[in-house]
Chains A and B, each alone.
Chain A
Amino acid sequence: MKYDEYDLWVSENAYGRVREVLELMEEYGGARAIYESSRFPKWKREINRFSGAMEAAEKNGIGICGIYDEDYPDMLRYIDDPPYILYYKGRLPVENKGMCSVVGSRKATGYGRTMAYDIGKILGSHGVTVVSGMALGADACAHRGCIDGGGITAAVLGSGADLCTPLSNLKLRDKIIDSGGCIISEFTPGTPGYAANYPRRNRIISGMSESLIVVEADNKSGTSITANLALEQGRDVYALPGNINSVMSRGTNRLIKEGAVPLISLEDLLEEIVPDQPENRKCMRELSDDEYDVIEYVSSRGSVSVNELCENFVKTVNDISVILTVLEMKGCILNENGKIIIAK
């Protein structure tokens, strides 16, 4: 094994002073020497924990990748404070066609979730690696979309790579690994997902790729933090515009105001992030006139309720319900929390 428990110990303590640590490594010629020199009395010297973590990593099939290793993500190496060591499960992504980070709120609306899925799918199908945080909501949708599009996806966790946070995404995690992607974390195996870990994790998400797409976010949310980190790291930040009344679009709309690139159509995505041939997303399956009118109206309003439709078209609930069911079956619309939105 290339790394020993002393490296893990250094890594755990290196956050915020990586450059300094790297110089010291040169000076002392190894992590063990630093440990024995007692140069940093404030660093916790519980080396047994790290030998335990080494064993845990081995047992769980977790790989260790140092900052000078070849498979260390390239873009990440040049951010201000890169992780000294990355733990990973699965295969680290190879940057053949680039990487793109997609993040969004855990409480994303149906709009956010479908868009995250679609973006993930398009990127995945064009060979772009999607990096996200495997959180509930938008993140999970982005991963899922990428896998469904046949792509490779990387999930960066705020806990040790041996744990699954949140636990309810266990199936998704296995799917990510099975599909050739990986789980990445800079935290020593066994570290629980403390809230304080998440800003650290977010810098890796934004740091790994050249662009970041923010799907939905409220002001002052973890997603907004990621966006700010990406700007500091000099990444291209794309934000999905939303209804200005929608709480979940406040953050993204503000990002646009502050200079993020609005992602106004999925074709844009293909042009800007994937320089490949565009694909026509709208497949208008044979729609009747009524159905077409409803679709037009829903897309003009963003989200509408059944009552609004009844009143706008001066039809009875029965008639509207029939149209809606057929449209749902055709996969054109979704009903979310009593509101009807465009599915694709």
Chain B
Amino acid sequence: MVSFIHSCTMSGAEAEIIRVECDMAPGLPVISVVGLPDAVVKESKERLRSAIINSGIEFPWNRRITINLSPAGTRKEGTHFDLPMALGLMMSEYGIRSVSGEMVVIGELSLDGSIIPVDKAFPLCVAVREKGIKKVMLPAGNLNETIIIEGMEFYPVEDFVQAHDFIIGKTVIEPVEGRRCEETAGIQKENDVDFYEVTGREYEKRAIEISVGGFHHIMFSGPPGSGKSMMAKRIPTVLPEMTYEEMLEVNKLYRLFGNPDRNDRLLHKRPFRAPGGNVSMSALLGGGNGIPRPGEITLAHNGVLFLDEMPEFRRDVIEALRQPLEDEYITISRAGGKITYPCKFILVGARNPCPCGYYGDVTHKCTCTCMQIKRYRERISGPIMDRFDIVLELSNECEGERNGRIISSGEMKRNICKARKIQNERYRKETIRFNSQLSGRMMKKYCNLKREAADFYREGCEKLGVSRRGEDKILKVARTVADMAECEDIEIIHLAEAFQFRKRKDDSFEI
């Protein structure tokens, strides 16, 4: 008799539902596992035999047992196949064809028959939920981390007997419903930094506000000490709260590999990743031996990726960002498989104006040759530079009295949330969510300019020597500026402000 029971495996960030098929025929007591199991899954036949016997359940000794993990072409890995395989085996013995209702079973068996928690329970449950499956049988030890996944029904099991009795209908397990935990949403660690501490930098703060508000990539260019890193460090304080779904997705990605401490708090803040200049291609984009792991860009999903001293990164690493920046996902092909991870992040770049750092600074002498400066600037290629909607040139500020109002992170965050809310509303029926994602066609629809504004826009682009691609960027940024001001139409003042954030022509070394 053949039995079927469902389990799952991770393929990248997505779950793949695996049907565990078990068949028995009279013969010598051999268990063979087929369907591309990895070493861990193959070993599980030894575990499940002992576990079943030690649970006091009769093991079918005079049977040749074949277990197939379907679809057979997908690689399976992980210890969580123990439980579904053991259950399938017993179902086959009893002649139960399948479990009623769609249920996914995960769990690792100990030799004494107890069920021990598995590493990937959280990402598996989140991914299973994305597939629309609600019921999951899982080790009781994993319940405390997965309980916050809303809309799920968990069947926690302590040992094999419990699971076995439930499957054959002898006992009932009361399902535990996953629910959003209010207290977890509430715990926001107080930030120890704030934009309020940054005085005399209202221009840069405004640029950050617009960047985060409309999901625009931003580049800071300035001499050492002009506050590039200081400002970037404070960006997390103005990022809007993650929605519940975003929180699940981010935590899923973080727990895909590693994170052995299952009692670890969930991440509630948007990720802010700042890899160093020596980051390798696979650390940044994802990769590594075996099944490709998510890289920094995936860990920055829904958050911010900050690349300080961008020209110091390896050039090929920076160039490799082109495709993920465009598509918002990354596909990694390795011997271990072809995997796609999401990576939607705001790219914050920083660089010096020249190798020594002081070109254009009034207080220090720049010691670089013109050729060095030219080469340094070329290290970030045109196509990458083009991805930055906002390019900000910073200078070392002179100390002076501060008359103006100092905006705090809280205020900035409020403005940002306001703009994001408007965008969410506007793009409800589109595939995009932010102004920076507007395509040419959508721009015609959502960035319509009234007559005077259109004249101003055209005149500005012409007089200020803005390139074609630059024109689009200005319009997108202006859209965000208008959203911040809660204006439906883009007006001249919004355009005028957006013009200030454009990349200026760098002609000093071309004439």
Contacts and interface: CB of A to CB of B under 8 A. Distances in A.
Interface in A258-313: 303, 305-308, 310-312
Given A218-B365, A246-B362, A329-B463, A339 B395 contact: yes
A325 B496 contact: yes
A200 interface: no
Contacts of B365: 218, 247
B403 A314 contact: yes
B203 A109 contact: no
Contacts of A246: 362
A318 B210 CA distance: 11
A305 B496 contact: no
B273 to A, nearest CB: 27
Interface in B453-507: 459-460, 463-464, 481, 485, 492-493, 495-497, 499-500, 504
B461 to A, nearest CB: 10
A328 interface: yes
Contacts of A109: 360
B397 A308 contact: yes
Contacts of A337: 222, 353, 359-361, 393, 395
Interface in B176-222: 200-206, 221-222
Nearest to A113: B508
B404 A314 contact: yes
Contacts of B451: none
Contacts of B459: 329
Interface centre among A140, A141, A169, A339 (most CB of B within 10 A): A339
A85 B203 CA distance: 57
Contacts of B359: 107, 337
Contacts of A316: 202, 405
Contact of A321 (B395, B463, B485, B497): B497
A136 B509 contact: yes
Contacts of B200: 307-308, 311
A305 B203 contact: yes
Interface in A90-135: 106-107, 109, 113
A51 interface: no
A37 interface: no
B511 interface: yes
A218 B403 CA distance: 35
A307 B399 CA distance: 11
A339 B359 CA distance: 12
A308 B398 contact: yes
A231 interface: no
Contacts of B508: 107, 113, 136-137
Q: How large is the interface on A (under 10, 10 to 19, 20 to 34, 35 or more residues)?
A: 35 or more
Interface string B111-153: 0000000000000000000000000000000000000000000
Interface string A313-329: 01111101110111011
Nearest to A242: B362
A316 B405 CA distance: 8
Interface string B342-386: 000000000001000001111111100010000000000000000
A44 B364 CA distance: 45
Contact of B464 (A307, A315, A328): A328
Contacts of B363: 245, 247
A246 B363 CA distance: 6
A168 interface: yes
A144 interface: yes
Contacts of B393: 335, 337-338
Interface in A206-228: 218
Given A106-B370, A243-B362, A311-B403, A324 B500 contact: yes
Contacts of A30: none
Contacts of A325: 460, 464, 495-497, 499-500
Interface in A160-202: 166, 168-169, 172
Nearest to A117: B511
A336 interface: yes
Contacts of B202: 307, 310, 316-317
Contacts of A315: 404
A331 interface: yes
A310 B496 contact: no
Contacts of B13: none
Contacts of A329: 459-460, 463-464
A146 to B, nearest CB: 14
B394 interface: yes
Contacts of B392: 338
B402 interface: yes
A318 B397 CA distance: 19
B510 interface: yes
A322 B497 contact: yes
Contacts of B497: 317-318, 321-322, 325
Contacts of B27: none
B400 interface: yes
A59 B232 CA distance: 58
A106 B203 CA distance: 30
Contacts of B366: 107, 247
Contacts of A310: 202-203, 404
Contacts of A326: 496
Contact of A312 (B394, B403, B496): B403
A136 B511 contact: yes
Contacts of A144: 511
B401 to A, nearest CB: 8
Nearest to A137: B508
A222 to B, nearest CB: 12
Given A246-B362, A247-B365, A337-B393, A308 B499 contact: no
A318 B362 contact: no
Given A106-B370, A113-B508, A328-B499, A317 B362 contact: no
Contacts of A107: 359, 366, 370, 508
Contacts of A245: 362-363
Interface centre among B222, B485, B510 (most CB of A within 10 A): B510
A320 B393 CA distance: 16
Nearest to B398: A308
A314 B509 CA distance: 36
B159 to A, nearest CB: 64
Nearest to A135: B370
16 contacts: A107-B508, A113-B511, A168-B510, A247-B366, A308-B397, A310-B203, A311-B402, A318-B206, A322-B492, A325-B464, A325-B496, A325-B497, A337-B353, A337-B360, A337-B361, A338-B393
Given A305-B203, A321-B496, A325-B496, 18 more contacts: A107-B366, A136-B370, A166-B370, A218-B365, A243-B362, A247-B362, A308-B397, A308-B400, A310-B404, A311-B401, A317-B205, A322-B492, A322-B496, A322-B497, A325-B460, A328-B463, A328-B499, A337-B395
Closest 3 CB pairs of A and B: A337-B360, A338-B395, A338-B393
